[in-house]
Amino acid sequence: MKEFRNQHYVPQTYLRGFTNNDVDLRNESKLWKLDKENKSIEHKGIGHICNEEYYYSYRDETNKYNHEVEKMFSGFEKDFNKIKFTANCIRNTYLNQNEISWFTRFEINYIIKFIIFQIFRVPKIMDQFINKMENGFIEMNNNDNITQDSQELKNDIKRIGLPIMFDLANPNYQMVQETILNKNLYMTIIPYESKKSYIINDNPILISNAEEANAIINSKTEITMAITKNIALSFFEYGTNKSCRIISDNHIDRINKSFFKNSTKCCFSGDKDILSNLLE
């Protein structure tokens, strides 16, 4: 049986698109990691980035690990390389000034589901989710004269809460999915001659208008994801669907600063200098 011990809250197949080794996988792909707190930069394999042991798994009543949430994510992530391939085809076709063939409706729905999962699966949200449920569990335990240590408590919260939290049939997910689907989608691409590239972080979905109540489902909210180091996708209110545009180097720097600000602890890039420039 495969052991799902090393679990990523930003998928490796996603991280790989920001490395300089996206095709040749004989050696482990690596990224430069910028730690925001101590402002250090180190080179790390993506297998050891944005990961925690048994992050989505929990022990069941027989004390065996249940990996259903992690297996669900692993199965869902298999199609991400197809999305990257289509995105790169659109970029190359556009830069060569040929007529583009846009994402299919199936692919757009997949991108939206990927974004929704990625918004909620990172520690910034997961930790809030567990902390909010903790008080309720402690109160129930006190009423029933049950004593649990912090690890047991966290395990029970994950066991009961995570299957519900990551159920796409959940009405809250359906509402978010429908809202994003009704927005316009555009692709921002970096030209061949540019030496710039997008960074990625440990909280990679950028939600502008985040100060608004219910920001994700607000019609004016723009949701941006850098899908590779050369391509970003945005869902927003205004504009023309199926739209591409080439981005300037100055604009790339501004977006990367937004990704840096949006990160929780770390940012990553295949280019060390790009991360160094963020510290200036």
pLDDT tens for 3-38 read 789 999 999 999 999 998 655 555 568 999 999 999
**Residues 131, 77 share a domain:** no
Instruction: Give exposure, 123-156, as e/b (b: 16+ Cβ within 10 Å).
Output: bbbbeeebeebeeebeeeeeeeeeeeeeeebbbb
- Per the structure, the count of domains in the chain is 2
Q: CA 11 to CA 84: how far, in whole Å?
A: 13
CA 139 to each of CA 136, 143, 162, 181, 226: distance values in angstroms, whole numbers, following the listed order: 5, 6, 20, 40, 42
What pLDDT does 9 receive? 97
Same domain, 24 and 158: no
Range 39-59 average pLDDT: 94
Cα Rg, the chain, nearest whole Å? 20
Do 267 and 135 have their domain in common? no
**pLDDT category of residue 243 using cuts at 50, 70 and 90:** confident
Over the stretch 71-112, which tens digit does the pLDDT of each residue have? Answer: 999 999 999 999 999 999 999 999 999 988 999 999 999 999
The answer to whether residues 60 and 186 belong to one domain is: yes
What pLDDT is recorded for position 227?
96
Average pLDDT of the chain? Answer: 89
* pLDDT number for residue 239: 55
Instruction: With CA atoms as reference, report the closest residue to 224 among 241, 253, 203.
Output: 203
Q: What is the DSSP string of 149-176?
A: -HHHHHHHHHHHHHHHHT-TTSHHHHHH
pLDDT band at 167 (very low <50, low <70, confident <90, very high): confident
Asked if residue 1 has pLDDT above 50, the reply is no
In this predicted structure, the answer to whether residue 61 has a pLDDT above a threshold of 90 is no
Instruction: Tell me the residue range of the domain where 134 lies.
Output: 123-165
What is the band of 210 on the pLDDT scale with cuts at 50, 70, 90?
low
User: Do residues 161 and 171 both lie within one domain?
Assistant: no
- In this structure, how many other beta carbons lie within 10 angstroms of the beta carbon of residue 230? 24
DSSP assignment, residue 257? H
Residue 13, SS3 per DSSP: helix
CA distance 17 to 228: 5
Higher per-residue pLDDT: 220 or 108: 108
Task: Assess whether 189 and 74 both reside in one domain.
Answer: yes
Instruction: Verify that 156 and 36 share a domain, yes or no.
Output: no
Which pLDDT value is given to residue 277?
Answer: 94
User: Do 64 and 143 belong to one domain?
Assistant: no
Q: Please tell me whether residues 159 and 100 are part of one structural domain.
A: no
Do the Cβ atoms of 47 and 6 come closer than 8 Å? Answer: yes
Residue 147 within any structural domain of the chain:
yes
| pTM for this entry | 0.91
Q: Which residue has the higher pLDDT, 152 or 123?
A: 123
More confident residue, 243 or 256: 256
CB 259 within 8 A of CB 201: yes
Return phi, psi of residue 151, to 5°. -70, -40
Q: Do 22 and 159 reside in the same domain of the chain? A: no
Centre a 10 Å sphere on the Cβ of residue 267 and count the other Cβ atoms it contains.
Answer: 27
Range of lowest pLDDT (106-120, 194-208, 230-244, 255-269): 230-244
**Final residue of a structural domain among 133, 165, 197:** 165
185 and 49, same structural domain? yes
**pLDDT score at 160:** 87
Average pLDDT in the 141-164 region? 80
Question: Rounded CA gap, 45 and 279, in Å?
Answer: 22
